[in-house]
Structure 1
Amino acid sequence: MRLRHLALVLALPLLPACKSQKEAPPAPKTAAKAPATQKSRIGLVLGLGGRGDQSFNDSALRGLEVWAAGVKYEEGGYKDVTPQEHEPLGITPVILQSRVAEDYEPNLQLLVEEQGVSLSLAVGFMLENAVEAVAKRNPDKHFLLVDSPLLSAQGEPYTLPNVRTVVFREEEGCYLVGALAGLATKTGKVGFVGGMEIPLVKRFEAGFRAGVAATNPKATVVSNYTGGFTNFALGKQVGQDLLTKGADVLFAAAGVDGLGAIQAVKEARDEGKSVYVIGVDSDPSHLAPKAVLSAVVKRVDLVVYEAVRDEVQGRFQGGSLSLGLKEGGITYAPVRLDFPGKADALARLEELKGKIIAGDIQVPTHPDQLRPATAAPGTP
């Protein structure tokens, strides 16, 4: 039966392509190239934020297109990257954009059935059910699910031999940028802009709150959730509201809604206000160079690249991975803006990072786990 859902192969972007591609560090060049006679076809189903979200989806696209395929997406199609930019794996990318959540499963099936891909990449926890269903129907095909494990009917994680799942310990990076916010705030009030109130985003909030308390126990954290990830205008409104309430550092963990919060801070900076914003998933500093303090960076690009490399080399395996600071799956973006005490603040962040990696600091994964005394060891 032919699928009727509209999916864009090598899709046109919903927003301009991510400019940060040029700034991304090179992926490891340890992979063997696919035979020149036949390129492997690797498919990617994007989440609802789509191409140009300056975040999660764009990071996955960078790993597949620029690093693995050696191409850049420009309006109208692809062009090759220069040899100096990256040595590709020799694959052909096939990109499907999902317009609504109901597109996820048919899009994945379309990749396998009509596009002939050997590895299908699904980015975002909302694709978990779709990956599970299509992987079970196609046990000879491989799948990568980023940001969620496979879950049984009882909600317990489990594995399939043809599915690799990757989750991130986001709370560790959020702790560090929370510590940064605590050191940078002048008003003693910082804001958290979340998307959906789900366990994944609650991990962001928990880590951030704990980090703020570690370096500035007297600071107040005000949280506001938008309820989604695709409403730029609502994110901007929430950001403006938090700024009005006195927050001078915002942490935007809300997808496209978070881009709206970044815009709110950018406009406030343009008006001369001393406020900052911290991004998530990818470094958004190119969007607002005078406003973005840092970002929690999830190495989705590297996870995607490594899955493609393993597929090309014939050594892809299923299973589950959890990546944090220790594994290099989570980091924080360079702090480019100046503020009083910046040098000491950066040294403090590296100290805290080392303690998390060593296991001396256990970062909470839900706000309910926070206690009044969340200051890191060694904090006065």
Structure 2
Amino acid sequence: MIERTLFSADHAAFRDAFRRFMDKEIAPFHETWEEQGYVDRAVWTRAGENGFLCMALPEAYGGAGADLLYSVIQFEELWARGFTGIGFGLHSEIVAPYIERYGTEAQKARYLPKLATGEMIGAIAMSEPAAGSDLQGVKSTALQQADGSYLLNGSKTFITNGWHADLVIVVAKTDPAAGAKGTSLFLVERGTPGFEKGKRLKKLGLKAQDTSELFFHDVRLPADALLGGAAMKNRGFVCLMEQLPWERLQIAISAVAASQAAIDMTVAYVKDRKVFGQPVGSYQHTRYALAELQTEVQVAQVFVDKCTELLMADKLDTATASMAKYWTTDLQCKVMDACVQLHGGYGFMWEYPITRAYADARVQRIYGGTNEIMKEVITRQMGLPGR
């Protein structure tokens, strides 16, 4: 294995501390959370108490001012252990950064400290029943009224943390005739009149992660609910595009970590499981199949680590992040399928971690922009003509 050079001794110590947190606060409960379809809110407050939320935020807003490698470690550890119900990543690495980067000072002061402690849980509402990867197709509207307020109408679906959420960043059209250039972002709090949460959605995988529908019917929002204030009106699509490289890299990081964990658990299984009196791992087909998978995952890890270096230097572009997202998630599904096969019938039993990892993997090729859309993004940078 190639030694990874991204992390310092401090990062290694953090990894150990987060593993201990998972052992105590997540491992004993995750199976129950999968059955009920959501994690208990207590894990959020525990994470906040231990400094595991919004770590990259400045100390003035309740964070630790940590570099993003600490967040990388969280993604790796959660997915390696199959703790995919934990929505810390979206909360800490998507919702909070939007507010920090684009919000007014009043918005930062109001929300960021509560997100850092886990007092508030954050979500972002982009996808709609007829608009997923194509965010330009958003139909929700937030039309400004004579008194300066906005009237928000529309519905959202597949919203991670949506059922628990105390604060939702909502993507809506403030100038529907302008297309993508008429998009804005709004901060909507739980309990706002007209804002309703639908049922928790039952999914193939990520069963402990609360995912829900959200509905907005004549939700009247004050002018200061517009993220960034008046200066950011109709600039929401620009914000969304600026954050995509890190958001897509998060998926790639998770994909590689889950793939490596699947290989590790399969190697352990085939050493012990016997067929015709011999360990499954002694057969050439098994050994060669695992060698091929390990090689591809190692290659993916090196690429993702390079993308992380580019991110840290603020040089990661959307096309490169799209390459990482599509390649690693395709690979993740390939690895999971092969590892389930090597487990035989036990690979089809929900009690086995490989089975749950197989189910969790499938959505990775869909959210964050489908892998087909990733290829469109890549071809545009290559200068290839499209429709």
TM-score category (smaller protein): under 0.3
Which has more helix, going by share of residues?
Answer: 2
Give the number of the structure with larger relative contact order, counting CA–CA contacts within 8 Å between residues 6 or more apart: 1
Which has more strand, going by share of residues?
Answer: 1
Q: Normalising by structure 1, what TM-score?
A: 0.26
Higher alpha-carbon Rg: 2
